[in-house]
Each structure stands twice: as C-alpha cells, then as structure tokens.
C-alpha cells in the first residue's frame, strides 16, 4: 500500500498547488506584458483606475451600493473586454501546463514533482489520457486565476450580454464556481481516498511517487 492515495496528505497537495499557481501567474504575467499579445493593456489599466475610484467612493461612504453598481457596470464590462487577451493567455497556459506538461512529465506538475506526488488513473494499470487531464483542469479552481470554464464563459458573454447586465451575470457565474471549489475541497478533506469532484469526474487520483 505504499502508493495508496490515502497516504498523500492534503498539506502536500496544497503546497504543490500553491507552487504551481505561482509559476502559472509568473508565466502569464510575462506573456501578457508583451503589447503584441495584450494590445489593450493600457486601456485596461485606465479602466481599472476608474473602477477602483468608484469602489473607493463607495467604501468612503460617498455613494451607496446602488450608485456604485450603476457607475461600475460599464467599467466592469470594459475591464473584461480589455482583458480578453489576458484571459486567453491564462486558459492557454493552464491547459498547456496542467494537461500537456503534466501528461508528458509522468503525471506531475513541477509543484507535484517537488512534493513527490503524481496523478494516475483510478485503475493504476491504465495511463491517464489527455482527456482525463483536460477534465481535471476544467473542473479545478486556481487561486487568483479562477476556473477555466467561467473564464471561457466571461469571454463569450462579453460579446452577447449588454454592459448593464454583464456585471450581475458574470458575478453569479463566478460565485457558482467558487462555491463548487469550496465543496470540491471539502469533499477531498472528507473522503478517505482524498479524491475531489474533479478527480471523480476525470477518473484520476493523486498518489506518492
């Protein structure tokens, strides 16, 4: 039972997870700082200043919540519109790292490799397929980044929903996936085999190397 998933402590997985997120954020920041890849960077910063200014007025008590939402509807909409390149970069980096790199690095991201754990198929005799890794990635939650599915939805919805309704719809989607992330982590802590929902769906588990 040396490689039993039950022996993989949650703390080891959390440390590996945090190391990986730091790496992903570092790579995304480098990539999106290139103006060719992120041509709306300056407009994003300008809009972010307006958005932050409205929030500051709200926190200072100069405006009420309804006024804050009304004033920031357009700002929030354009923040997403100007960050499309950033969102796409995040999605590409996440998929390349958590799907392809992990697949061809024997089931381990760099964080997992440092913590000496790896991903395997539930039936350990079978290899973890690209599809398995993709499902894991899609249903995982990444701190400071979010999940891939809501990133895709927010990118699509910015071209479909009016600015006045976008903030509300996107906020609801974000909260739904945040709730899913909390439930997912709780399931990992409760289950004896320490498998989260994303692992149950993808038919994978984490074991010691």
Compute the mean pLDDT over every residue in the chain, rounded to the nearest whole number. Answer: 91
77 in a structural domain: no
**Domains of the chain: total:** 1
3-state helix, strand, coil in the chain (%, to 5): 70, 5, 25
Name the band, by pLDDT with cuts 50, 70 and 90, for residue 59.
Answer: very high
Containing domain of residue 141, as a range?
A: 5-40+83-208
Residue 125, pLDDT score: 85
Name the band, by pLDDT with cuts 50, 70 and 90, for residue 36.
Answer: confident
119 three-class SS: strand
Entry pTM: 0.86
Q: How does pLDDT run across 186-202, given as a tens digit for each residue?
A: 999 999 888 999 999 99
Q: How does pLDDT run across 121-157, given as a tens digit for each residue?
A: 999 889 999 999 999 999 999 988 889 999 999 999 9
Residue 9, pLDDT score: 87
59 in a structural domain: no
192 in a structural domain: yes
Contact indicator for 116, 16 with CB cutoff of 8 Å? no
Total Cβ atoms within 10 A of residue 3: 14
Mean pLDDT for 1-29 is 81
Contact indicator for 124, 21 with CB cutoff of 8 Å? no
- Residue 1 clears pLDDT 80, i.e. is over it: no
Name the band, by pLDDT with cuts 50, 70 and 90, for residue 5.
Answer: very low
135 three-class SS: helix
- Residue 4 clears pLDDT 50, i.e. is over it: no
45 in a structural domain: no
**Alpha carbon separation from 72 to 64, 101, 121, 176, 180 (Å, rounded):** 12, 39, 46, 21, 27
Mean pLDDT for 69-80 is 91
**Alpha carbon separation from 51 to 67, 69, 143 (Å, rounded):** 13, 10, 22
15 in a structural domain: yes
């Amino acid at each position: 039972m040396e490689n039993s998933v039950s022996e993989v402590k949650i703390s080891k997985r959390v440390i590996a997870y945090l190391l990986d997120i730091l790496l992903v954020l570092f790579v995304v920041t480098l990539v999106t700082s290139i103006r060719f890849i992120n041509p709306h960077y300056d407009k994003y910063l300008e809009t972010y200043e307006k958005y932050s200014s409205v929030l500051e007025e709200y926190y200072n008590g100069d405006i009420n919540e309804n006024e804050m939402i009304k004033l920031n509807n357009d700002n929030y909409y354009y923040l997403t519109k100007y960050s499309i390149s950033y969102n796409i970069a995040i999605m590409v980096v996440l998929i390349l790292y958590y799907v392809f790199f992990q697949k061809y690095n024997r089931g381990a991201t760099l964080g997992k490799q440092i913590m000496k754990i790896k991903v395997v198929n539930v039936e350990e005799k079978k290899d973890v397929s690209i599809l398995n890794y993709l499902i894991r990635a899609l249903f995982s939650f990444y701190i400071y980044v979010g999940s891939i599915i809501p990133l895709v939805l927010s990118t699509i919805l910015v071209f479909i929903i009016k600015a006045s309704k976008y903030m509300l719809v996107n906020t609801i989607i974000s909260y739904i996936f945040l709730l899913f992330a909390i439930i997912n982590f709780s399931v990992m802590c409760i289950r004896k085999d320490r498998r989260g929902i994303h692992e149950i769906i993808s038919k994978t588990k984490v074991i010691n190397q």
